[in-house]
Amino acid sequence: MTTGTRIYLARLAGVAVFDPSGDQLGRVRDAVVRPRAEVSRPPRVTGLVVEIVHRRRIFVPLGRVTAFDPDAVMLNTGTISLRRFEQRTGELMALGDMLDRQVTLGGDPPVRAVVVDVAMERSRSGEWELIKVAAREHSSGVLGRRRGHLKQVDWADVDGVISSEDRQGAANLLAVFDQLRAADLANVLQGLSDKRRVEVAAALGDDRLADVMEELPEDDQIEILGSLDSERAAHVLEEMNPDDAADLLGELPEPEQERLLAMMSPSEAAPVRRLLDYTEDTAGGMMTSEPVIMPPDATVAHALARVRDPDLTPALASQVYVCRPPSSTPTGRFLGIAHIQRLLREEPSTLVSAVVDADLDPLDPDATLAQVSHYLATYNLVAVPIVDENDRLLGAVTVDDVLDHLLPEDWRDRDG
């Protein structure tokens, strides 16, 4: 981003927005563009889409902006409308709708390229207009291995940024939001059109798409899963947590469930099949089948190494489940819980069997949502072990699993 009059919009993504007192209001997620009736004239940029608390997206007119700095957008007032932003007919999103668009650059001969950024400047009349397009020429060389040149072209010399109906890619949009948490990227996807959401999902890697899918409402999950070919859909389900994969498959007709399960690897499909056998609002239906499980002869050092895994949620990393072999669910006999606070106080060479809390009785998979909630509240825990009639550990229900069932079904679509 520049601090002068030319502002590259992709570089604004994620930048903090501050009021005159220096208090942060939110972060920029996109910019709103209005094409003009005269197609030869650059379109106007009317404002920014800013994400504030509770993932609410609001519209901030550019007239409220006093400065664009590399790490901040400064406003001239702290009084702004908190009404949720809704894209109007005729409006385009600079990032969501324009990045990755296939365009033609004027010249002799014309050159095919893909949009990687757009820049706005303030006109003499005080309006902000899109005046430049940064586009990368299509790859050239043997097998297209040579990266195309990046060019900055006047708006009037580019054809197809708005009117092209070609399928849009997603690489540059994803690069803009590469550092977002999965939940925040899921929120970005929800703000895109149905067509664009499917295109962006198709461009994500299987593991990243799985993480994002877990944060989306069920309707969006089903839409994206249905847009993938069967083989890729199965791979994405394999990358999802078994409980989330089971929840998603549970929304599909049984023939479709079975078809996708059959395409998954047997080791990945097995825990999902087990979870599908339980009623949705029971402990069995809510639990994850992959908590941190350790044998009794493991050391505290080994246990702490396991819970350092960045892919674990804080709830799952808060306690280790000590079981006799086998150590995958359903395990051997469940012995108890080793809480992370206790592990941190012990010598690394201590065996986890020496620090097990065996005083807390686990729950069975038929326990109700109310029973699980009561258990967590009574013992001030963030997860509860679930065992079968033979004292084998089946999984664990975490507090976020409970919240998913206590909150309204459309909570992911709500602003607050």
pLDDT in tens, 141-197: 544 455 678 999 999 899 888 864 455 677 788 888 877 888 889 988 888 888 888
> 20 preceded by cis ω (within 30°)?
no
Reading the block at residue 44, the tokens are 């106007």
CA 89 centroid distance within chain: 27
- Sign of CA pseudo-dihedral 187, 193, 195, 196: negative
pLDDT band at residue 270, thresholds of 50, 70 and 90?
Answer: very high
pLDDT over 90, % of the chain: 58
Q: What is the DSSP letter of 40?
A: T
- Of 2-16, 39-53, 93-107, the one with minimum mean pLDDT is 2-16
| Cα diameter, the chain | 80
Report the candidate in 24, 31, 13 with the shortest Cα–Cα distance to residue 74. 24
d(CA 271, CA 242) in angstroms, rounded, equals 6
d(CA 164, CA 409) in angstroms, rounded, equals 37
Over residues 306-327, the mean pLDDT reads 91
pLDDT for position 3: 41
Indicate the pTM of the whole model. Answer: 0.67
d(CA 183, CA 181) in angstroms, rounded, equals 5
